[in-house]
Amino acid sequence: MENRSFYNEILTEHNVRPEFKHDMEDADIVLEGVNPSCGDDIFLKLKTDGDTIVDGAFVGDGCAISQASADIMLGMVIGRKKEEALEMGKIFMKMIKGEASEEEIDSLEEASALRDIAHMPARVKCAVLGWRTLKEALLGEDADDDEDDEDW
């Protein structure tokens, strides 16, 4: 795939110079997301105002894919309505499962750099950790935390 090195550059850039990996003292939602199969462990921090995600950050440790994915995700969802963020998460999950259309993948902006994960089953949980944690943070008790949840 000719774009492979371009995608790798995006992921590397988000690892070396993450924009949102820092503490956030006044977050009103803080949630830990763990992927035991790889050892990824993040704390997602969100500041919300009604239905809008006004700011966000994360701290923690993990592999390059989990950290880059969380950083890219925050860049996409900050400033959006919660339901728009959840919709993006749904499309992201579709892409990771190899079920998204080219148009849907394009709509994911930088997160489309993770499209190849569809061919790397062992890394799927790394790529979706940030998004899963976001969904749980936004929906709270209503989020289905079933690992095999087909909806995501």
**Contact set with Zn ion (CB under 5 A):** 38, 40, 63, 66, 126
- Residue 112 to residues 46, 49, 95, 107: CA-CA distances in angstroms? 23, 28, 8, 8
Return the residue matching tokens 């919660």.
82
- Of 1 and 122, the one with the shorter C-beta distance to Zn ion is 122
Q: How far is the CB of 71 from Zn ion (least distance, A)?
A: 14
Q: How far is the CB of 114 from Zn ion (least distance, A)?
A: 12
Q: How far is the CB of 35 from Zn ion (least distance, A)?
A: 6
- Of 30 and 38, the one with the shorter C-beta distance to Zn ion is 38
Judge whether 110 and 10 are in contact, CB under 8 Å. yes
- Of 53 and 70, the one with the shorter C-beta distance to Zn ion is 70
Judge whether 127 and 69 are in contact, CB under 8 Å. yes
